[in-house]
Chains A and B, each alone.
Chain A
Amino acid sequence: MEFKNLKLSKKTTFIIWVGIIAFVIAAPTILPVFRLNLLGRYLSLAIVALGVDLIWGFTGLLSLGQGIFFALGGYCAAMYLQITSSSEFPNNIPEFFGLYGVDNLPFFWEPFRSPIFTLFAIWVIPALVAGMLGFLVFRNRIKGVYFSILTQAALLVFFNFFNGQQKLINGTNGLKTDVTELFGQMVGSEQMQRMFFWTTAVLVIAAWFFSKWLVKGRFGNILIGIRDDEPRVRFTGYNPVLFKTIIFSIAGALAGISGALYTVQSGIVSPQFMTVPFSIEMVIWVAVGGRGTLLGAILGAVFINYAKSLVSEALPASWMFIQGGLFILVVTALPEGVLGWIQGEGPRNLLQRFGLKRKIETYPSLEINNEAEDLKK
């Protein structure tokens, strides 16, 4: 927790952490179940946002298809829950198969009977899909907007596939998880939801530390180098394809974990997770929070979604206007995001030159300065 302008002492950092942990432990008793569930969902979205920050904020790859990996993680979790809770249905297979006259479980469902396989599948499958897609694209030096367009097209393709395959994965209806059982408890029950909230909170913090560790030091510096001047990295003897594929897979894995946590807390996974707007929203959480800051991604995901639910409850039609306006505002006036702005010269500039035109920088000033201090000993 270091800011460029306001550096926190060890003691303050400690107090903040105690506060966070105390809140996480106490949240289920303070918040009503409905709000707790929402908070848990938004926290799980923070994990996918961290992945977006890794690939976009640090490496310069704007993926508009993170929904693919998010949904894959969700489907993995839901398939396990459905299949292990299907003993009372005909043929011992999930109920929806009966609607389409399917008697035999499709082959790819089989391994999801195993909890251990599922625990791995949730992040390994999205990572593999991301790695494969990424490798094919990066290998040909397709970058910038072309990469964004292709990821968006891939998203649409996955959406079409999942949406159209009723007999395999219940098509457009998706897979429900809230009436399935885990450890002999209903997944939708209050007790289980509390468990999921805690799991999510712990995993968000873990993912944050993991991401920080990843971008700290030389690996992270190469990512920034790729973002700023990829040919230069190549002429220095590094293979950018490898680095990009790795970081894209990691972002995919984070998205998968995020999707699984989101699914069990929202009670359903469906192709709606793979719509175009949802994946672009993920980018805007990071943009508003401040790309290249990691913490900004978490805060952006939680607060924008919270604002969304508040606004949607009060004035349903206006959210689209607000969201659209937010996109334009952040991109044109606040390219570093809120956290980047606070960390940078923002507040001082505002006070000093109120009303004057501000210089627009393309990339946010990053936290790396502090990391360098750490390395220095």
Chain B
Amino acid sequence: MLLDSLFNGIAIGSVLLVAALGLAIVFGLMGVINLAHGELMMLGAYTTYVTQLIFKLPLLKPYYNAYVIVSIFLAFIVSGVVGILLEKTVIRKLYGSPLETLLATWGVSLILQQFVRSVPLAYGTGLIISLLVGLFLPTIFSSKIKESINFKYIRFSSWVIAALSGVLTGNLISSSVSKLSRASARNVDVTAPAWMRGQVEILGTAFPKTRLMIIIITLISVIAITLFLNQSAWGMRIRAVTQNREMSDCLGISTEKVDVLTFGIGSGLAGVAGVAVSLLGSVGPNVGGNYIVGCFMVVVLGGVGNLLGTIFASFGIGIMTDLIGAGRLLSIWPDMPLPLSNTINFFATTSMARVMIFALIVIFLQFKPTGLFPQKGRMVES
């Protein structure tokens, strides 16, 4: 009984965590509120859907079972690239004014939502491919070539190649997968491969395999990002820029590159979260919006710029949601006094549990306004 509740809570929490992880990084390290984060998740979810359909093609059919794993990487890349584009075009102009960023990214989220409604997914994929090629083709050349005057021609021609490859991919996909050739505002469904359906029995309780999969995805993401930030050279640069931008600039760290990288990784993680979300229910243009506020609650509750806080807050909210939403307290303590049990029943739905949890968070913030694990030091106030 308790184990059940705990597992459900962890399952809810891990979805929150993987969704909030990217947000926490972008917000914590760059101070950027990205309201389009939910839509980056949505792109990740659609990527899963597209990957699934492509793996149904005769050529890839034998590997169908692996499509979820592949789509995790693809979703990371797709959302990451869109995030990089977003950073380079909009967010870069707005550093230091978080409220403006918030509004601008909301505009981006509207455009992304309408984009998946009115552009066929096949051509959407083509567009992503051309973005990828256009952004990364020039970077493979050695720095010597990059500094030469003729490099602008290389850049130009790589965008031409990018456009061509995008159109080709778009046409190829749309001619081979008919489902992707028309735009549709309707929700689509991702079906898990056979090995992920069904349940596993642990300690006498049955756990759905998709939930377990999400927990594993979350775990891997958290470990990977922690290792990256703490062990790699770029991770160190990111932390350096977070702590002192001017100084890092003076020490020869390209803060511009660090910004792009941080935002790209945060967005990529949103894509991974999208894969997780697609396994839970149908995927539509609004799927991201359902999670975004929960993610922000996690970040506020956990304290900014603190992965540990994000983790605790996600699981805390997850477990509380299950406890309140499923009215678990009532089954643990069946003969509680009537007024109390009535109250618990009143809040025992998913939406009312949200009401209750918000109230609890506001009460919590009365005592610890800076969250569970606040940043300390004299920099905080100023």
Contacts and interface: CB of A to CB of B under 8 A. Distances in A.
Contact present between A and B (CB < 8 A): yes
Interface of A: 62, 136-137, 139-142, 144-146, 148-150, 152-154, 156-157, 160-161, 163-164, 231, 276-277, 280, 283-284, 287, 317, 320-321, 323-328, 330-332, 335, 360, 362
Contact of B103 (A154, A317, A331): A331
Given A148-B33, A328-B104, 14 more contacts: A136-B366, A142-B369, A149-B33, A149-B300, A156-B293, A156-B354, A160-B355, A320-B111, A320-B114, A324-B107, A324-B110, A331-B103, A331-B107, A362-B100
Given A157-B354, A163-B351, A146 B300 contact: yes
B365 interface: yes
Interface stretch (B89-97, B122-130, B147-155, B162-170): B89-97
B284 to A, nearest CB: 14
A277 B289 CA distance: 10
A184 B111 CA distance: 47
Q: Is the interface of A mostly helix, strand, loop or mixed?
A: helix
B114 A164 contact: no
A148 B300 contact: no
Q: Is the interface of B mostly helix, strand, loop or mixed?
A: helix
Contacts of B358: 153-154, 156-157
B111 A140 contact: no
Interface in B74-111: 90, 93-94, 97-100, 102-104, 106-111
A149 B366 contact: no
A129 B289 CA distance: 25
Nearest to B299: A149
A324 B117 CA distance: 14
A317 B114 contact: yes
A153 B118 CA distance: 29
Interface in B292-309: 293, 296-297, 299-300
B216 interface: no
A152 B293 contact: yes
B278 interface: no
A326 B108 CA distance: 10
Nearest to B31: A145
A231 B380 CA distance: 13
Interface string B111-149: 101100110000000000000000000000000000000
B362 interface: yes
Given A164-B349, A320-B111, A276 B289 contact: yes
Contact of B98 (A137, A145, A276): A145
B362 A144 contact: no
A136 B367 CA distance: 11
A145 to B, nearest CB: 5
B352 interface: yes
Nearest to A165: B352
Nearest to B99: A62
A331 B94 CA distance: 9
A284 B369 contact: no
Contacts of A164: 349, 351-352
7 contacts: A149-B296, A153-B361, A156-B354, A157-B355, A283-B103, A324-B111, A330-B103
B104 A332 contact: yes
B107 A326 contact: yes
Nearest to A146: B300
Contacts of A325: 107, 111
A162 to B, nearest CB: 10
A164 B118 CA distance: 32
A154 B30 CA distance: 25
Nearest to B104: A331
A161 B355 contact: yes
A194 to B, nearest CB: 35
Contacts of A283: 103
A108 to B, nearest CB: 15
Most chain B CB within 10 A, of A144, A157, A330, is at A157
Nearest to A276: B289
Contact of B369 (A140, A287, A328): A140
A56 to B, nearest CB: 8
A139 B366 contact: yes
A335 B97 CA distance: 11
Most chain B CB within 10 A, of A150, A231, A283, is at A150
A150 B300 contact: yes
A324 B99 contact: no
B118 A317 contact: yes
State the 5 A-B residue pairs at the shortest beta-carbon distance, nearest first: A327-B107, A324-B110, A140-B369, A320-B114, A324-B111
B309 to A, nearest CB: 14
Given A142-B365, A276-B293, A328 B108 contact: yes
A145 B99 CA distance: 6
B351 A280 contact: no
Interface string B337-359: 00000000000010110110011
Nearest to A331: B104
A53 to B, nearest CB: 14
A302 B100 CA distance: 22
Contacts of B100: 331-332, 335, 362
Contacts of A149: 33, 293, 296-297, 299-300
B106 A327 contact: yes
Contacts of B349: 164
Contact of B354 (A160, A277, A331): A160
A148 B289 CA distance: 16
A137 B358 CA distance: 13
A152 B297 CA distance: 10
Contacts of A362: 97, 100
Given A153-B358, A327-B103, A332-B93, A320 B113 contact: yes
Contacts of A157: 354-355, 358-359
Contacts of B110: 277, 320-321, 323-324, 327
A332 B92 CA distance: 10
A139 B113 CA distance: 37
B350 to A, nearest CB: 9
A327 to B, nearest CB: 3
Contacts of A150: 300, 362
Nearest to B115: A321
A86 to B, nearest CB: 26
Most chain A CB within 10 A, of B102, B118, B361, B365, is at B102
Contacts of A320: 110-111, 113-114, 117
B373 to A, nearest CB: 15
Contact of B293 (A137, A153, A277, A324): A153
